[in-house]
Amino acid sequence: MTTETDRQKRIDAIAQQQAYPKHPGSFVDNMYAEAPDGMTYYQAVVKDLAAAFIISNGRPLSKPDCRDILESADRLIEAIACKTLGES
């Protein structure tokens, strides 16, 4: 599970990457770039969503749950990108 310190490091890394992108491309492209902990930001989002799902439902993930989590991660990243880029 992600600790508060890990989460803050990831937030700081995202903020720094937005200020000084290491990878050319769009915000969404940068979400798939490698984070300091070795995961992509997309993987980190999926991991956090999966952990939240397990905690809230108190049971292991099923295949449909995993599909829902991946779809939620895609929607979340798209929403963040639109907000960041000023799109609706």
Question: pLDDT digits over 3-23, tens only?
Answer: 667 766 766 665 555 544 444
Domain borders along the chain are 4-85
Question: CB-based contacts of 87: which residues, under 8 Å, 6+ apart?
Answer: 81
Question: pLDDT digits over 56-81, tens only?
Answer: 888 888 888 888 888 888 888 777 77
Token representation of residue 21: 């992108």
pTM above 0.85, yes or no: no
Token representation of residue 64: 């449909």
**Rounded to whole angstroms, how far apart are CA atoms 65 and 54?**
10
Question: CB-based contacts of 55: which residues, under 8 Å, 6+ apart?
Answer: none
